[in-house]
Structure 1
Amino acid sequence: MTLSVLMTTEGTYPHSAGGVSTWCDALLRNTPDIRWTLLPLMMNPHIEQKFDPPPNVRKMLGVPLWGIEEPAEFIADIPFAQLYDRKRRTSNADIEREFIPLFRKLLHVICADPSDSETFGRVLVALEDYFRVYDYNETFKSRPVWEEFRSYLHKDPTLFDLTECLRWLYHFLIILNVRVPRVSVTHATAAAFCGIPCITAKVRHGTPMLLTEHGVYLREQYLFLSRFRRLFFCKQFLLNLITAVTRANYHFADVIAPVCHYNTRWEVAHGTPQQKIRVVYNGVDPDLFRPVPKLHGDPHVVATARIDPLKDIETLIRVAARIKKTHPRAKFSVFGAVADDAYYQRCLALRKHLGVDDTVSLGTAVDDVVEAYRDADVVLLTSISEAFPYSVIEAMACEKAVVASDVGGVGEALEGCGVLVKPRDDEAFATEVARLLDNPSLRLRLGTRARARVIEEFRLDHSIGKYLDMYRGLAA
């Protein structure tokens, strides 16, 4: 039997670099007998692809969440005449009769009972059906919807609150307009809005659903929104919506495959039975990531990380400033794209303020990530949030000594073969980095153990094999 799988992504593959995209690309390329459909949610329609999907990806259905006025801009397989008919037939009377009862149920789940995943799933399917007949844009921007939204959210929100929340709802649910083909299995790569087509396929057709969690989506949204001190009403509404979506992903998934045991505590806390969960660690090819001779003599600390607040590059810069006092020839290199320009400017300002412009290089591009590790004496990870990062297991496979934040599943990777430090503690990070720079034999011992652990536990072929087994089991 030929397997067909729908993979859904959000803000990652194939439009962005990073660990999730690396994982997606490896899974697709190493399963040539599967007929894949790829549905990426992207932030806007103008983002260029960073990856070229392999030939076994038979169809790609890109959905931009922002940067468009209405779904007709990305729906290519529906004739214009049909889209025009939808607009023409969408009247306030139809909206009152057909949409408002569904909208009321949707708002009840979001605002009053985010744990009612069964109702949420049924409403999502009913909304899909509605938008196959009536126009999405005309409906959401109608007076009946505005009046219902205003009357339901009666906790004295401002006009700005109401407008912003309804705008978010419009964009985040735009994926309901996509028609996906029938497949053997659906695979959501986050417990996020990209899981909605998987949920509706499960409710509508009984299609088995697999969910892989890399970072814990709900936790990361809490961290992101904590940066904004205003807009309390809007933040609460968005968190309620995200919680409802996340819990629905957990509820409808037949199997949840987090990339580390750390993630399971969030999944269980939000109602997932333990028997649904099967941890599948990320894997790398030890023939590709292998020890290579160092070319230069000066001490070198390497990080492979995008410039993003979650990677806490500011702590790395502070570590470099401390190390410079005792190891003035040491260099720090951060290989990775700039994901947040405002944060990048903050990092540049801090680098200048601490006098380490000549010590720390930021946002360095690299075509071959193995080359990034070549000259490293120590590989450093200062993130405040991680799941099971490729940067750690890649460095381990290259026999590098790793100093990393004790977050997420990092400790599961580095057990017995690396150094863990409390996040944001630049003094502790600097102490451990200095200890390794001063002790080549310790670096060698840790690196040797690390590569052996990768070969035993974190091989790419092992990881791919587990996913293939799950696909076959779910489709049987």
Structure 2
Amino acid sequence: MRIALLTEGGYPYARGEGGAWCDRLVRGLPHHDFEVYALSRSARTEQGGTVEPPPHVRRVLSARLWGAPPPARPRDGRGRAARRARGAAFRWHFGEFAAALAGGSALGAAARADRFAAGLYGLAGVAVEHGGLAELLRGDDAIGALESACRAPGVRPLLGDVTVTELLAVADLLERQLRPLALPWYGPQELGAADLCHAASGGPAALPGLLAKRFCGTPLIVTEYTVRLREALLAHRAAGFAPAVRALLGDYHRLLAGEVYRQAALVTPGSTHVRRWQERCGAPHERIRTVQPGIDAARFARAGEAAEAEAVTPAGHADPVLAWVGRPDPAKDLIALLHAFHALRQEEPQARLRIFHLRGAGQASVRYLDHCRTLAAQLFPDEAADPHAVGESPVAFEEIGSPGAPELADAYAAGDVVLLSSSAEGFPLSLVEAMFCGRATVSTDVGAVREVIGGTGLVVPPRNPKALAEAALSLLRAPERAARLGAAARERALALFTVARCVDAFRESYVDVVAHHPVPREPLLSAAGAPRPFTAPAESWSPTRLAPLTKGFRP
């Protein structure tokens, strides 16, 4: 089977868990041919390098959603008639697109979705037939269409007061988001030759899949372990965009998500939390299948086995230790964690907190980490007089890969209890990793945490340092209970979150989707004219040579 893997800011780029799970998926299906179509989000994405794909990844194509638009000349020449035809087509389709973004009293939800889809595919048609889409999206016609849509009757008052500066910002950001429409990926030798497209996230990554379905009939699978729509809305707020800009861009992402979910042959959320978002945005219930992400359990086997041995023969610690592991980010709410630990120290003065952070953090993460170090110094100014502190702060900030934690598993194993203090979370991978290590956990009730942890850990409200401190203290004072919870957590992780389970689920999904949505290619029609389901039948691959069925047979 030939699979087109569509990514945005993930595989084959090395940075981020999104790239890691794609790599595990591809390596777990060596009997399929993969082609990767990667969208780069930023210069930082590319600076992180790429992973070396396995041999059955036939090629990797990439395009940027950042920086200046790629140079492109109109395909139909620069004559007056050609320019008029191109401009007229663009104004019509972008007018539909802009009207859908702005909404209005005359548009219901269904009509708005239809106009958005018509405008989106129409703009793709302009890119194919005429070229020069990036120039048009930044031009006067686009600004005029956006302004007319925002001044239409029944539009929200917020948009009625939009300024030209804000419209220019919207046009610039939309041009970047819509760059996949103009990519040369939709010919019969590109996405048209794939048996299916698998988008590794919603949003821009799924745009090539939408066009492949529209132009070539290629079925689309969409996987989301975090809600791409929610990520976009939070990013708009963090960027400080004006309210009108946020409203238009937010509606673009909502309408795009709805169109992606409606057109996908299968939607595979990573949790019930994500599934609820998808259904709210229009994903049909009958085309959703939850597939938890697969994590390499072998990386944590040593720590998990050591935890089991320690539960049988407790060794004890001179000082009780709490551990936090992850990438420093405001959403991880290390501020609440430090305040919780300060409250816990009033009851358990020997306790220590070890904060393990990942390498390769960006400047924003470095600044946040410096802020947390400053707060820790203020909360624990000088404990040299404390005989239990040995002249050191009870809070340690350590990088994974340092002598204190050479490997990721060592960071989890360093704590008697592992904490997750996030104020917002998608799928909590660090929590699953702690479960593989057999550690008792205390987590905030955000995202898919409750679904992941089941009954094998303690869950407290977010942004509540007192509740976090009390739960952690209860486990530190009951090591037998903590050991039981850690053992149960490891069993749950091994049952639900392994790579093998994830790969098997996608293997079945691929066969099911291609069997029910074969691509109608002319060379692959049967004698009766019906489309055949596979470019290369999946049954044709076998890891070993099989002996003839008649060998040794005696009637």
Q: Same fold (TM over 0.5)?
A: yes
State the alpha-carbon separation in 2 of the partners of residues 228 and 469 from structure 1: 40
1:149 pairs, out of 131, 141, 146, with: 146
1:108 pairs, out of 89, 95, 99, with: 99
Give the AA of the match of 1:271.
G
Query: In structure 2, what is the equivalent of residue 265 of structure 1?
Result: 276
State the alpha-carbon separation in 2 of the partners of residues 349 and 94 from structure 1: 62
Query: In structure 2, what is the equivalent of residue 51 of structure 1?
Result: 51
Query: In structure 2, what is the equivalent of residue 78 of structure 1?
Result: none
1:403 aligns with 2:442: yes
SS of the residue 1:447 aligns to: helix
Query: In structure 2, what is the equivalent of residue 75 of structure 1?
Result: none
Structure 1 range deviating more: 90-99 or 35-44: 90-99
Give the AA of the match of 1:380.
L
Whether contact under 8 Å (1:71, 1:136) holds in the other structure is: no
Give the AA of the match of 1:127.
L
Deviations 1:80-107 (A, max 9, x none): xxx4464963875244222111111111
Whether contact under 8 Å (2:203, 2:228) holds in the other structure is: yes
Structure 1 range deviating more: 294-303 or 203-212: 294-303
Whether contact under 8 Å (1:90, 1:135) holds in the other structure is: no
Whether contact under 8 Å (1:301, 1:379) holds in the other structure is: yes
CA RMSD, aligned part only? 2.7
Q: Are the structure 2 counterparts of residues 95 and 346 from structure 1 closer, same or farther at C-alpha, using a change threshold of 3 Å?
A: farther
Q: For residue 330 of structure 1, report the CA deviation from its aligned partner.
A: 0.7
Deviations 1:424-447 (A, max 9, x none): 111111111122222221121011
1:459 aligns with 2:501: no
Q: Flag structure 2 segments of 5+ consecutive residues without an equivalent.
A: 152-159, 308-314, 382-391, 516-555
SS of the residue 1:379 aligns to: strand
Structure 1 range deviating more: 144-153 or 270-279: 144-153
Whether contact under 8 Å (2:199, 2:206) holds in the other structure is: yes
Q: For residue 361 of structure 1, report the CA deviation from its aligned partner.
A: 4.2
Q: Flag structure 1 segments of 5+ consecutive residues without an equivalent.
A: 73-82
Structure 1 range deviating more: 197-206 or 292-301: 292-301
Deviations 1:34-90 (A, max 9, x none): 221222322224533253333322222222211x21124xxxxxxxxxx44649638
Q: For residue 418 of structure 1, report the CA deviation from its aligned partner.
A: 0.8
State the alpha-carbon separation in 1 of the partners of residues 469 and 172 from structure 2: 45
Structure 1 range deviating more: 258-267 or 282-291: 282-291
Query: In structure 2, what is the equivalent of residue 168 of structure 1?
Result: 173
Whether contact under 8 Å (1:38, 1:60) holds in the other structure is: yes
State the alpha-carbon separation in 2 of the partners of residues 225 and 34 from structure 1: 38
State the alpha-carbon separation in 1 of the partners of residues 250 and 256 from structure 2: 10
Whether contact under 8 Å (2:98, 2:145) holds in the other structure is: no
State the alpha-carbon separation in 1 of the partners of residues 213 and 74 from structure 2: 29
SS of the residue 1:62 aligns to: strand
Q: Are the structure 2 counterparts of residues 417 and 42 from structure 1 closer, same or farther at C-alpha, using a change threshold of 3 Å?
A: same
Whether contact under 8 Å (1:214, 1:388) holds in the other structure is: yes
2:380 pairs, out of 342, 349, 355, with: 355
Structure 1 range deviating more: 203-212 or 340-349: 340-349
1:135 pairs, out of 122, 132, 137, with: 132
Give the AA of the match of 1:406.
D
Structure 1 range deviating more: 395-404 or 154-163: 154-163
State the alpha-carbon separation in 1 of the partners of residues 259 and 503 from structure 2: 26
Give the AA of the match of 1:239.
G
State the alpha-carbon separation in 1 of the partners of residues 241 and 123 from structure 2: 32
2:336 pairs, out of 292, 295, 315, with: 315
Query: In structure 2, what is the equivalent of residue 388 of structure 1?
Result: 427
1:20 aligns with 2:18: yes
State the alpha-carbon separation in 1 of the partners of residues 204 and 422 from structure 2: 25
Query: In structure 2, what is the equivalent of residue 123 of structure 1?
Result: 119
Give the AA of the match of 1:473.
D
Q: How many residues align?
A: 463
Query: In structure 1, what is the equivalent of residue 155 of structure 2?
Result: none
State the alpha-carbon separation in 2 of the partners of residues 33 and 405 from structure 1: 41
Q: Are the structure 2 counterparts of residues 304 and 37 from structure 1 closer, same or farther at C-alpha, using a change threshold of 3 Å?
A: farther
1:284 aligns with 2:298: no
Q: Are the structure 2 counterparts of residues 65 and 353 from structure 1 closer, same or farther at C-alpha, using a change threshold of 3 Å?
A: farther
Query: In structure 1, what is the equivalent of residue 482 of structure 2?
Result: 443
1:235 aligns with 2:246: yes
State the alpha-carbon separation in 1 of the partners of residues 417 and 12 from structure 2: 30
SS of the residue 2:419 aligns to: strand
Q: Using the aligned pairs only, state the percent identity.
A: 26
State the alpha-carbon separation in 2 of the partners of residues 174 and 400 from structure 1: 45
Give matches, 1:199-218, under 5 Å. Answer: 199-218=210-229
Whether contact under 8 Å (2:91, 2:142) holds in the other structure is: yes
State the alpha-carbon separation in 2 of the partners of residues 247 and 117 from structure 1: 8
Structure 1 range deviating more: 195-204 or 222-231: 222-231
TM-score, structure 2 normalization: 0.77
Structure 1 range deviating more: 429-438 or 308-317: 308-317
State the alpha-carbon separation in 1 of the partners of residues 497 and 236 from structure 2: 33
Whether contact under 8 Å (2:96, 2:118) holds in the other structure is: no
Query: In structure 2, what is the equivalent of residue 192 of structure 1?
Result: 203
Structure 1 range deviating more: 347-356 or 262-271: 347-356
Give matches, 1:217-228, under 5 Å. Answer: 217-227=228-238
Q: Are the structure 2 counterparts of residues 146 and 457 from structure 1 closer, same or farther at C-alpha, using a change threshold of 3 Å?
A: closer
State the alpha-carbon separation in 2 of the partners of residues 355 and 16 from structure 1: 37
Q: For residue 158 of structure 1, report the CA deviation from its aligned partner.
A: 1.5
Deviations 1:363-406 (A, max 9, x none): 72336322222222111111223233221222112111111111
Deviations 1:6-40 (A, max 9, x none): 22222333335443333222111211122212223
